[in-house]
Amino acid sequence: MSRGLKIALVILAIILFCCCVAGLGTTLLGARIFGRAIITDPDRAKAIGGEIAGYDLPPGYEEMFAMNVVGIKMVAIGPAAPTSNAMMIMLMQFPAGVEVSREEVERQMEQALAQQTGLGSANLQVIGQEQVTIKGEPVTLTIREGTAEDGVRLRQVTGIFQGKGGPTMLMVMGEAATWNQPMLDRFIASIR
């Protein structure tokens, strides 16, 4: 696979991921393109999550929706009974053989989020990094915080690990005031 094609796939994956996060499926273009790609059937979403990585769901959480487009797989995990202050966990896997630079993916994701979703208006700033182990390998998690337009302080954690079928981005978002670090630690430790 050529370098240009790999870069194009990574950029496409990031844009698709951000569009799903933002719910751009409500626009005409989003409804036509992404409406067919979004999988809301719980069993199919769970199956796609299982293709990305093995993991144990946090108590009260479920696979909310998934996507499988051009070899790029994504699953969104959230509370079964939605609350406004719950954390959202997302896993996005790139096709095997695609070289993924954490810095480049995070930079592209930040730009796409800022342009497409309005999350950029939260002005998320890096506040630290943490080393964790996922599937026996060291992974650097980048921690960001910022304030949304409504004044709510947000936290985001991102990192890349090797999933079942290729490099996988972990992204967790939620309110900083109700951030459940023990739950996140248990989820990360369960990834296999």
CATH of domain 3-190: 3.40.1000
Instruction: Tell me the domain boundaries of the chain.
Output: 3-190
Predicted local confidence at residue 36, as pLDDT: 62
Predicted local confidence at residue 96, as pLDDT: 84
Predicted local confidence at residue 119, as pLDDT: 46
Distance (Å, rounded) from C-alpha 48 to C-alpha 120?
28
Distance (Å, rounded) from C-alpha 30 to C-alpha 35?
7
Predicted local confidence at residue 114, as pLDDT: 45
Question: Model pTM?
Answer: 0.76
Q: Are 141 and 128 in contact (CB under 8 A)?
A: no
Predicted local confidence at residue 117, as pLDDT: 39
Which residues lie closer than 8 Å to 94 by C-beta, 6 or more apart?
Answer: 9, 10, 13, 71, 72, 100, 166, 167, 168, 169
- Split the chain (192 residues) into runs of 10 and give each run's mean pLDDT: 52 57 48 66 96 97 91 90 82 83 60 45 85 96 90 92 93 93 98 97
